[in-house]
Amino acid sequence: MVSNRMLSARVPRRIRAFIRSLAIPRPPRHIRESFRAIDQASLERVATSLKQNYFALAIHSFGATGEAYLASSEGKSDFEDHLRELLHVDRVSVVPWLDQAMRLQGARVLEIGCGTGSSTVALAEQGARVTAVDVDEASIEVARDRCKAYGLDVTFSVLNAAKAGARFSGAHFDFIIFYASLEHMTHEERLTAMKGTWDMLPKGSFWCVVGAPNRLWYRDDHTSQLPFFHWLPDDLAFEYSRFSPRNAVLGRFREHSGEADLDFLRLGRGVSFHEFDLAMKKVEELRVVSSLLGFLRGRSILYWMKAKLDGDSRFESILAQAGPRIHPGFYHRNLDVIIQKD
């Protein structure tokens, strides 16, 4: 997926939009026609909500006050992503991918990890009946404000994903989507959340994960931006994080404590097929419908070329040699897979 962080802020917006249009073809007409627009005043209300809720916590999440963080180049890019870019990426890549598995119109969706609501808008504007949960109440407030701005009716709940299986037991969902959330859970939370939601999912419905960094990948682009960081045990990774080039990580984790260790895990640790083996069943036996990257490479020659040029496809093939019966989606840089319950 191509976002502002992949394209220099010095590149004019029109040129950035043109590059993205080359990388990702236009979504099908029925998806484009469902996109909702908002006026400038509504967009500014969403921006205010982001600043007053989500980014107000920047002193905890980013190692600086919210105001200082938003004044930095990293903060400006992050804010723009939350305000506009994440919704764009969801609309043109994630939504068409999910919709290919099953039409989102009328689908019942449980979104776990809705964050500030960009993905929630992208799902709900397609006519999906969305129940959205997140552990962070401030993010939920932004998501509510965003959906209100777009005129969308979504059910929100502040909830730890580990309790989702119990909370929604007996409910019927066509999609259960873990959206950029598994990586922020502890090991116990992750397995409980995966097993609980998998067990409650009806046969024929879809369990999906979007945007989880792959533990098997040789570079951590999610948290530390360090090579081989995913491969380190948690204690060693905690101490080695002092070498991270990211201001949000550099020098933040010095001494172990219960709070510091949990804060480190919440920042994000990789996920791999091993959790699926434990929470569901052997991944070779799962009915994996598709992966997002495989879907995008099939639609765009530029995605296919990028994999060849940056060496991703070579590393994926090396991983596949160790487990040739495992779906290739589990060997991509990020875990973005759709699994159908059988």
- Quote the percentage of the chain above a pLDDT of 90: 77
| pLDDT above 60: residue 21 | no
In tens, the pLDDT along 92-111 reads: 999 999 999 999 999 999 99
What are the angstrom distances between the C-alpha of 246 and each of 70, 75, 282, 333? 15, 12, 36, 19
Query: Which is higher by pLDDT, 64 or 271?
Result: 271
Helix axes 301-309, 13-23, angle to 10 degrees: 90
| pLDDT in the model for residue 6 | 43
| pLDDT in the model for residue 65 | 65
| pLDDT in the model for residue 302 | 76
**34 and 126 in contact (C-beta within 8 Å)?**
yes
In tens, the pLDDT along 31-45 reads: 999 999 999 999 999
The domains found in the chain, sorted by start residue, are 4-8+28-340 (3.40.50.150)
Predicted TM-score (pTM) of this structure: 0.90
- Quote the percentage of the chain above a pLDDT of 70: 90
**266 and 184 in contact (C-beta within 8 Å)?**
yes
| pLDDT above 90: residue 5 | no
Residue given tokens 């060997």 in the structure block: 331
What is the pLDDT averaged over residues 310-317?
88
In tens, the pLDDT along 47-93 reads: 999 999 998 875 445 555 667 888 888 788 889 999 999 999 999 99
| pLDDT above 50: residue 220 | yes
Q: How far apart are CA 274 and CA 278, in angstroms?
A: 6
What is the pLDDT averaged over residues 158-181?
96
In tens, the pLDDT along 193-203 reads: 999 999 999 99
Q: How far apart are CA 286 and CA 289, in angstroms?
A: 9
| pLDDT in the model for residue 30 | 97
Residue given tokens 């434990």 in the structure block: 278
The single-letter code of the amino acid at 326 is I
What are the angstrom distances between the C-alpha of 303 and each of 20, 24, 225, 293, 312? 11, 8, 22, 8, 11
